[in-house]
Structure 1
Amino acid sequence: MSSQGPEISGPERRALFEAESTSLYDEALASGGLAATDERIVAGGAQHRAFGLLVELGLVRRDAESDTWVAEDPSTVQSRVVSPLTQEGSRLLEESSHWARTFAGLSTSWRRAPSTAGHGPFTYLRDEAIGPFLTSLVSEAEDEMLTAQPQAGRDAPSLAEAAVRDIAMLERGTRMRTLYQHSARRSSITHKYVTAVTERGAEVRTLDEFFNRMIVVDRRVAVIPAADDLRTAIAVREPSVVAYLVDIFERTWERGRPFANRESSMMRDIAAEQRAMTIRMLIEGHSDPVSAKRLGVSPRTYAGYVADLKQEYDAETRFQLGYTMGTRGVSGNETPTES
């Protein structure tokens, strides 16, 4: 019925159908029909387009005897409208799946190429591109994944996502070693993550020192944060640089303490290491936010560490604390037995 109004399609067509056409249909059904002379549905009427859509879809038909538009059974119309859309949707989903598989193969080749198809051994990843890249990279891990994860920034959603990704990798037989700071031991969500991955063979240790985030897969690709932009990561494929980063990880790993070990002697040692690092931060003159970040704790928790030291050395101010520690030769580098 071309005289019923300008042609519309897509979402606009469905929106008009839901907003106006359905109410006209209900009215036609309840009253036994809509008069053909109804000012709302004639050319130029307020609901001319909505009514035209009912006619086009076959939901109303004109009764010549009464000169009214009467409603038709919608079940006879639905298959004509919905089935083609369903078939087209299935076709598009299948087609998109083929395209996705093809691109996945190209992406794998691109990541494994020594020079990354002309882009060199370093690739910058920004914002939303980081997560999918890591997921794809981990899904291809065959032998080993090394990760260094400072406690700051590991919230519940990111840990839950990492758990799904890492567990799938571990169940394929890939080895995994992860480093946290000692402060991670206070996080319940981190404990849940560690429990989940260690049950599947992962090894997790903690360290008092501050370190940057790093992921190394199969000792061929390393992902590190960009120094000047927290929203940017760098994927490194240069073999000598990756080997250097792995060497740093291995040296740090040797100094770490097993996460699963909760013996009282180890917990005392960990507390002593955090105390010593707090002393070093004070002596070196770092601000509280910087010191808290390096210990992997909140500024409030760090302030509590400083307060404990003031009480220990009977000092009222930080200046008095520094002076007292200086006169006693305390540097923060002593072994637990020396302090």
Structure 2
Amino acid sequence: MPDLTAIRRAALGVAGASVLGLGYATLIERNAFTLREVTVPVLAPGASTVRVLHISDLHMTPGQKLKQNWLRELDALEPDLVVNTGDNLSHPKAVPAVVQALGGLLARPGLFVFGSNDYFAPVLKNPLAYFDRDHERVYGPPLPWGDLRAAFTERGWQDMTHVRRTVEVGGVRIAVGGVDDPHLDRDRYETIAGPADPSADLRLGLTHSPEPRVLDRFAADGYDLVLAGHTHGGQLCLPFVGALVTNCGIDRSRVKGASKWGSHMRLHVSAGIGTSPFAPARFFCRPEATLLTLVPASRDNAQQDAGSTAESAGSRR
């Protein structure tokens, strides 16, 4: 006969471990904000180094003071360029909180595209749906993305939604192209299609969701680097396994961080800073911003994957 006492103890042990894990994921790790630093060899030979702060997926609500205070500290990094790849909002009254949290970063050169949770509020979802790429999408009420866009552009950041333009940062010419969120099928790559400027020191693509159909178009047009978010790095990951899902078409090995896409292009996917209010947990996937140090490509580093990575809790200063 089975030992019922042993079975009960085992069941209680599993239940206890689950409660502890959930408590850690919701109370500790989702607030353990991290700065990652990555060196990416993508610039033209002889170009000056450029430091790009990549932020994404803030999913801000007005009362998230810890997140807002941490974001304010990022300005002390003094990046040359800030890139925001969307999903800033999770509440209809969050625009002032986003603007105040970004603080001094809005006075620096900046580029942005929007994601689904800039346009629509998050809603409660069945978490198992994320394992089905073709699941029916459910959207919440509209969010004030127009107000957020106005706040960003009034402070000098440039909206790269279906736009191509050249910007100069520290003497480095950057040809930039961006698309609207592929997760909502709002991308219209044909509006920016064509070879990226070959005379630029860097050809940079922006998208919220790193869908392969969009990445392939950027690569075919000669872009050197694409920045994206959306995946939350998998959000709930397992030791020695990593992310279980990406919530888009890329493979799990590219769910966060830097990688190569094809023979030439580099991809950087941010694991993001926030979560949906309906899934406020992270496990083995800390919320993050990334300071990308872009350096000239060379024969020695052209064969490397996408640079070296170092992590530190909070700001490095």
TM-score tier after normalising by the smaller chain length = under 0.3
The structure that is helix-richer by fraction is 1
TM-score by length of 2: 0.26
The structure that is strand-richer by fraction is 2
Between 1 and 2, higher relative CO (CA 8 Å, sep ≥ 6) is seen in 2
TM-score by length of 1: 0.25
